Each structure stands twice: as structure tokens, then as C-alpha cells.
Structure 1
């Protein structure tokens, strides 16, 4: 279980996240919602320890994540895999090598620098690409892909880390409606098939309601809502989003109907 206790991050006198406290049980799909600048990205970056808390603690299965350093911190960042809005791929490298970057915490540095990846890791990476129908372009440069393809490569890279949790920071912000559906479906399949906890920052309220089983609402760095999507009424949503309410409450594209069957996945997470 992930436990966040009084987590605060200040930049000068401004608190980007202010005294956030919550817990997330394994296997959930949690959406973090709120208007731009609410503190959503900073919250996820602190959980992954890409941003340092000013106060508070992060616990995972009883381990104080905020106290980790060195190799233990690298392993935590692998276990809490991040997916970014801008993909964070190396454009000049091929797709397979970008996915293999997710194995950096498990291989000696000299192997990754020389690109002498073990066959076992290559098999894991190819299996992950197959999950998202990307194996056929494994040799293609990442900068030749569409935005949706790049984000699926980024998700495959996260999957090969064999994480306990995936932290997705606005993963569909720059995508068109079709690729938005493809990426959100991929995250949902990972969550349901492998039981990997997903914490996903989302701007669209309709996407959050349709894909997530729990919503955490943030405003001005504080958590102001925490509950099931059905409990988030339009009135509460309008208070949460203020002037952005009409923008985020539009109809989401081709959403997954509740209770619909999910395509089967392979066994890459258990490799």
C-alpha cells in the first residue's frame, strides 16, 4: 500500500502541494484531477522522488520512500514507473533501445552504455512492445513515430521496469481523440491484467470518470475531493475547476463501456 502523510512541496513561499494525505491500496486505478497549476504533476513527481518534499512522508509497504538514497532510490524509481506528457524518449535511438532503458536499474552501467543488453532483457522488451502492437517497428527511430506511438513506447518502457505502480503525468495531453483512447485503454489493460496500480493525472473529467475507480481532486495544492467517480457531482466539479469547468466536462471520445471485456495481454510483467 502507498501511504502519503502530510506531503508538502514549497517553491519559495508558494506551496505547490500543501499537506496532502491519502493512501492507495494495490491494484487501483486512481485519477488525480484539478485545474492547471493545482499541484498534480508535483505530487506524482514527489512520489517518484523526482521532486523532493519539503515536509511529510511517503511510505510504500512500510518502507519510508522519502528516506531512500543511492541504489535503493534507483530501484524505487523503477518500481514506481513514470510516464510523462512529453514521452521522454531518445529520438535518435530505435524503439527497442528506448524500451530497454526501462531495464537500467537491473543491468550494469557498462552494458547499457555499450548497448550490450542481455538476451533476457531484449525478450522482455519485445514482449512489452507486442502488447501494444509495436513489435514490427522495434528497429525504427523513436523520432519518426506519431505522438500516440511514442506514448505507447513510453508505456512499454514503464512496463519492462516490472513496476508495482505506474505514475502517469497527463499522458494524453498532446494526443488526438483516437490516440487518447488507445493510450488510456493500454493503461487500463495493464491495471486490470497485471494488477499494477495506476495513478494518472488527467485534465478531462469525463476520461477520469470513465477509466478510474477513484478520483483525488486538487485545488491550489490541497486535496479537496477523494472518493468514487459517482460521488463527484457536476456541482463539486465546477467548484473544483472554476473557470475551466466547461472545458473539462465535455464528452470524452469512444470511452470503454463499464464492464466491457479487455483484450488479453501476455506475461511480460512476470518475466
Structure 2
């Protein structure tokens, strides 16, 4: 379980995240919603320890993540994979190598620097690409892919880390509606098939309602909503979205795919 206790982050006089407390069981798919600047990205970056909290604690299965340093912190970042809005791929490298970067914590440094990937690592990376229907792109340079394809490569890279938790920071913000569906379906498959906990920052309430089993709403860094999607009423939406509330509440949800049978977390080449 992920436990967030009184998490706060200040930037000078500005409070980006203000005393947030959450408990998130394993296997959840949680949408973090709110307007731009509400503190969603800062919250996820603190969970991954890309940003340090000013106050509060983050616990995973009882272990204090905020106290980790050195190798233990690197291990945590491998177990807590990030998917970014701008993909964070190396455009000049081929797709397979970009995915293999997710295995860096599993191989000796000299092998990774020389790109001496084992047959097992390559099989794991190809299996992840196959899972998202992009294995045929393995030899292409990442810069030649569409936005939706690049984001699926980024999700495959996260998956080969063999994480307990995936943090997706506005993963569909730059995508068209079709690729939005493809990317959200990919995250849903990871959650449902492998039982990996997913925290996904989303601005679009209709998408969040369709894919997430719980919504966490931030406004000016404070937690103002925490509950199932159908419990988000007009008053709570106004707290989150202000003048945009009527538009986001009335939006027609996108129906996600049916949940597949849950299988143990494992890769097959």
C-alpha cells in the first residue's frame, strides 16, 4: 500500500502541494484530477522522489520512501516507474534500445554503457512491445514515430522495469482522441493484467471517469475530493475546475475496454 502523510511542497512562498494525505491500496487505478497548476505533477514527482517534500512522508508497504538515499533510492525509482507527458525518449535511438533503458537497474553499469544487453533483456523488451502492438517498430528510431506510438514505447519502457507502481504524468495531454484511447487502454491493461498500481494525472474528467476506479482531486495544492468517479458531483467539480466545471461534468465518458482475466506479473518472450 502507498501511504502519503501530510505531504507538502513549497517553492519559496508558493505552496504547490499542501498537507495531502492519501492511502492507495495495491492494484488501484487512481486518477489525479484538477486544473493546470493544481499540484498534480508535483505530487507524482515527490512520490518518485524526483522532487523532495518540504514536509510529510511517503510510505510503501511500511517503508519510508522519503528517507531513501543512494542505491536504495535508485531501486525505488525502478519499482516506481514514471511515464511523462513528453515521452522522454531518445529520438536518435531505436525503439528497442529505448525500452531496454528500463532494464538499467537490472544490469551491471559496464554492460549498460556498452549496450551489451543480454538475450533475456532483449526478449523482455520485445515482449513488452508486442503487448502494445508495436513490436514491428523495434528497429525504427523513436523520433520517426507518432505521438501515440512514442507514448506506448514509454509505457513499455516503464513495464520492463517490473515496477510495483506506475506514475503517469499527463500521458495524453499532447495526443489526439484516437491515441488518447490507445494510451489509456495500455495503462488499463497493465493495471488489470498485472495488478500494478497506477496513479495517472489527468485534466480531462471524462477520461478519468471512464478509466479510473478512484479519483483524487487537487485544487491549489489541497486535496478537495477523494472517492469513486460517480461520487464527483457538480459542487466538487466547481471546486476543482472553476468556470470549466459545467463543461467537464457534462462531458460524455469514453467507455474503456472490458477488463481481461488477471494473470500473474510475468513476461513471456
TM over 0.5: yes
Cross-structure match for 1:245? 245
1:27 aligns with 2:27: yes
CA RMSD of aligned residues (A): 1.8
Summarize the Cα distance change of 1:224–1:253 in structure 2 as closer, same or farther, 3 Å threshold.
closer
- Provide the residue aligned with 2:8 in structure 1: 8
Count how many residue pairs are aligned between Structure 1 and Structure 2: 269
Q: How does 1:141-152 map to 2 (within 5 A)?
A: 141-152=141-152
Q: Compute the TM-score of the two structures, normalised by the length of structure 2.
A: 0.95
Instruction: Answer yes or no: is 1:159 the counterpart of 2:159.
Output: yes
> What CA distance in whole angstroms lies between the structure 2 residues aligned with 1:117 and 1:125?
10
Deviation string, structure 1 residues 127-179 (Cα, Å, up to 9, x no partner): 00000111111000000000000000000000000000100000000000000
Distance in 2 (alpha carbons) for counterparts of 1:2 and 1:263: 24
Check the 8 A contact 2:193/2:265 in 1, yes or no. no
8 Å Cα contact 1:207/1:252 also seen in 2 = no
Query: 1:91 and 1:250, CA in 2 relative to 1: closer, same or farther beyond 3 A?
Result: farther
**Partner residue of 2:85?**
85
Q: Which residue in the other structure is 1:102 paired with?
A: 102
Matches of 1:214 and 1:195 in 2, distance apart? 15
Aligned 8 A contact 2:124 2:268 in 1: no
Distance 1:231 1:254 in 2: 17
d(CA) in 2 for partners of 1:176, 1:83: 18
- C-alpha spacing 1:176/1:250, structure 2 compared with 1 (3 Å): farther
Q: Which runs of 5+ in 1 are unaligned?
A: none
Look up the match of 1:198.
198
> Does the residue aligned with 2:239 lie in a helix, a strand or coil?
helix
- Relative distance call for 1:179 and 1:253 in structure 2 (3 A) is farther
Q: CA deviation at 1:111?
A: 1.0
Matches within 5 A, 1:220-231: 220-231=220-231
Per the alignment, residue 44 of structure 2 pairs with: 44
Does the aligned pair in 2 maintain the 1:5–1:58 contact within 8 Å?
A: yes
Distance across 1 between alignment mates of 2:193 and 2:233:
30
Deviates more, 1:189-198 or 1:106-115: 106-115
TM-score by length of 1: 0.94
Cα separation, partners in 2 of 1:253 and 1:5, compared to 1, 3 Å:
closer
* 1:182 paired to 2:186: no
Q: Would the aligned equivalents of 2:224 and 2:236 in 1 still touch at CA under 8 Å?
A: no
Change (3 A) 1:35 1:130: same
Instruction: Measure the CA separation in 1 of the matches of 2:110 and 2:185.
Output: 36
Question: Where in structure 2 are there 5+ consecutive unaligned residues?
Answer: none
Q: Deviation at 1:249?
A: 3.9
1:251 CA displacement: 3.4
Contact map agreement 1:127 1:268 (CA 8 A) in 2: no
The whole-number CA distance in structure 1 between the counterparts of 2:139 and 2:158 is 19
- Name the structure 2 match of 1:126: 126
- By how many angstroms is 1:240 displaced? 1.4
C-alpha distance 126-270 of structure 1, shift in aligned 2 (>3 A): closer
Q: Contact 2:192/2:259 (CA < 8 Å) preserved in 1?
A: no
The CA deviation at 1:95 is 0.2
* Aligned residue in 1 for 2:18: 18
Q: Is the 8 A contact 1:58 1:66 kept in 2?
A: yes
Counterpart Cα distance in 2 of 1:2 and 1:251: 31
